[in-house]
Amino acid sequence: MGWRERTHDETYSDTETEARLAAELPHWYLENGWIRRKYKTSGWKSTLMVVNTIGHLAEAAFHHPDLSVSYAFVIVKLMNHAAKGITNKDFELARKIEDVIQWQPGKTEGGSLTGTPDDPRFKYLKYD
């Protein structure tokens, strides 16, 4: 059964998880039963912006990651506790987090939004 055919609480094997991460979320990885991603920031204020953004997305989805927060990084860990493994819920929330945190309007789309200037005074996230 492919991942698109699964129910929302059906778990993936480690091999299936790694294959889907490689195909859809290359900066995420599987470790100890969790899918994980480390976002590097420029400091404490930036870290809090990332944490609050993830918090909003998680609450809206009603699927909550574990976070490790330090001065200049945030580690996101996702696993469906009720299903005791990785499910479509984890991949979908990871995708939404990735899309929002990595959004760079000046580089990815046209329009009036130019994005954060390429100037160290304004940098807050270290994009991949």
Q: What is the pLDDT, as a whole number, of residue 115?
A: 86
Question: What are the pLDDT digits (tens) for 63-110?
Answer: 999 999 999 999 999 999 999 999 999 999 999 999 999 998 888 777
pTM over 0.85: yes
- Which stretches does DSSP call E strand in the chain? 29-31, 34-40, 66-70, 73-78
Q: Can you tell me the distance from the alpha carbon of 45 to that of 57, in angstroms, rounded to the nearest whole number?
A: 19
Lay out the sheet containing 29-31: strands in order across.
Answer: 29-31, 34-40, 73-78, 66-70
Residue for token pair 């920031």: 41
Q: Can you tell me the distance from the alpha carbon of 72 to that of 77, in angstroms, rounded to the nearest whole number?
A: 17
Q: Is the dihedral of CA 97, 51, 122, 73 positive or negative?
A: negative
Read off the DSSP letter of residue 41.
B
Helix or strand holding residue 19 (H, E): helix 14-24
